[in-house]
Amino acid sequence: MNGRFDYDFYSPENRKMFTKLDKGKSVRLGDICDIIKVKSRKLKDQNQTVEYVELSDINTHSYEIINSTTYQVHELPSRASYEIEEGDIITAIAGNSVGTRKHATALVNQDFEGSICTNGFRVLRNFKIDSYYLLFFLKSDFFLKQMFMYRTGAAIPNGCNCCIYQEDTDYGEDTVEVYSEQKRWSNYCFAGEDFKKGTTLLKKGTHIGYVEAAILAGMGVAKVPVYRQPRIVLLTTGDEVVELGIPLPEGKIYNSNMTMLSARLRELGIESFHMEAVKDDPTVMSEKLKEAAKAADMIITTGGVSVGKKDIMHESLRLMGAERIFWRVKMKPGMPTLFSAYKKTSDITATDHCASEREIPIISLSGNPFGVAVSIELLIRPALEKMMQDPSIGLKEVNGIMADNFEKGIKGRRFIRAYLENGKFHLPNGLHSNGVLSSMAGCNCLIDTKTMENQESRSLNAGDKVGAILL
């Protein structure tokens, strides 16, 4: 543009046009350039490869196309319409940014010669004025205000019974040519067509996603009572446990259980808070538990729930004043699970009144990695479903047929890692012990032996019908 925008740089005809604009008169865009309205012939060859330009491919600051996507014609979106040439100007007529500072307008350079653009653009060609000047004008407040006035969503004037797409006209003002047949009520939104007075749009227990949020906004509702996401604090006990990021001393193990718990909760849409591993000291653990309870809706611990000298959770919970609800569950793995409740007597850090009066569930799991993995699904997920009233978090059960033999002895209710594919349960290679987690990689379900047809059997064989819980 030679660094200039002053009128004297341009021909008298151009200055005359802008003088008219300054005096409140108008010049039709079609008077100073051609508006391309014919779809590209390239679209007839379904197997041809083309470059496609969308509204989002425009840099609204530099007025240039910065990207395109390669398609075969049969793969193109239905809105793909016009072929663009070097030197064309494309300007948006659709989208939320029309008439704003982010209005998409660009000068087509050689790199995008022959590309196909969306019908959300108007393609301008064969200019009677300097193309750079027109580009500048299309980004001016004068033009943007006009575009904003014609955006979709305005009230229908009395006596009108249809709307015509602007792109189906010659953009005339005093008189206009219409290039498509219109029917009564076409492109017309009736009052109350989305919902009417008395309509139940969202029921109690509905998950508020992006669509539900928009429905509420459409009713003018800014706030609704919801079950908030629970605050979950994770604690690990064990002198042998060290945190990630430091060299592993001899005789120690990394805190993989916390990583597994926090990652699985995140997959369920719940963020958790992880406190550092606590040594095998019941007094220290009880203080950590009381600290965690200040902000928690649920506490999950791993380790220290069996009957050994270092199984400190029993004493720790007694010292903090928690009530034992049950200890041990008839399932493998995860049998020594300990469940307690702690009533907060005061909580100055609570963010709501109810939090200071509610009992906090404390679920203490074994330290065995596979035991933790199973307990997340069988014990923690149902508890979270209840707390959040969200069925999507609950367990999903499926039936199928064993593809392999499981010869390890089965006593009582046992959960077996497996991969379900085409109705068949495949067992992974490797050990199936409680301390082994590597063989669970790639598994998508847990076979539940309570579903065995022959409850007296001590093994599972290929062909047996069983049920499972999806992970």
Is CATH 3.40.980.10 the right assignment for the domain spanning 232-385?
yes
Domain ranges of the chain: 7-149, 197-226, 232-385, 397-470
- Please write the tens of the pLDDT for every residue from 458-469: 788 899 999 999
Do residues 146 and 173 touch, judged by C-beta distance below 8 A? no
> Which residue shows structure tokens 């391309």?
36
Do residues 130 and 101 touch, judged by C-beta distance below 8 A? no
Pairing of strands 323-327, 253-254: unpaired
Per-residue pLDDT, 73: 93
Per-residue pLDDT, 9: 44
- Please write the tens of the pLDDT for every residue from 103-158: 999 999 999 999 999 988 999 999 998 888 888 888 888 788 777 766 666 677 78
E-strand spans in 241-346?
241-242, 253-254, 272-274, 298-302, 323-327, 338-343
E-strand spans in 115-212?
116-118, 121-125
Task: Pick left, alpha or beta for residue 125 (phi over 0 → left; psi -120 to 50 → alpha; otherwise beta).
Answer: beta
Per-residue pLDDT, 434: 85
| Phi/psi at 232 (5° precision) | -115, 130
340/324 Cα distance (integer angstroms): 4
Per-residue pLDDT, 345: 64
Per-residue pLDDT, 24: 56
Which residue stretches of 124-255 are H helix? 131-138, 141-149, 210-218
Q: Three-state DSSP class for 151?
A: coil
Q: Three-state DSSP class for 379?
A: helix
What is the architecture, at CATH level 2, of domain 7-149?
Answer: Alpha-Beta Complex (3.90)
Helix (H) or strand (E) holding 386: helix 381-388
> Which residue shows structure tokens 């609950």?
394
Q: Three-state DSSP class for 355?
A: helix
E-strand spans in 8-66?
34-36, 49-53, 58-59, 64-65
> Which residue shows structure tokens 């004037």?
157
**Helices 131-138, 141-149: crossing angle, 10 deg rounding:** 60
Beta-carbon neighbour count of residue 172 at 10 Å? Answer: 11
Do residues 338 and 327 touch, judged by C-beta distance below 8 A? yes
- The percent of the chain in helix, strand and coil, each rounded to the nearest 5, is 25, 20, 50
Do residues 90 and 105 touch, judged by C-beta distance below 8 A? yes
Is CATH 2.40.340 the right assignment for the domain spanning 397-470?
yes
Per-residue pLDDT, 335: 93
Strand partners, 233: 273, 299
Helix (H) or strand (E) holding 257: helix 256-267
Task: Pick left, alpha or beta for residue 308 (phi over 0 → left; psi -120 to 50 → alpha; otherwise beta).
Answer: beta
Per-residue pLDDT, 173: 61
Per-residue pLDDT, 22: 55
CA proximity to 65, closest of 1, 119, 115, 108: 108
Structure tokens at 302: 């791993």
Do residues 100 and 148 touch, judged by C-beta distance below 8 A? yes
Residue type for position 130: D
Task: Pick left, alpha or beta for residue 167 (phi over 0 → left; psi -120 to 50 → alpha; otherwise beta).
Answer: alpha
pTM above 0.75, yes or no: no
Residues (pLDDT < 70) of the chain are 1-26, 149-154, 171-174, 345-357, 455-457
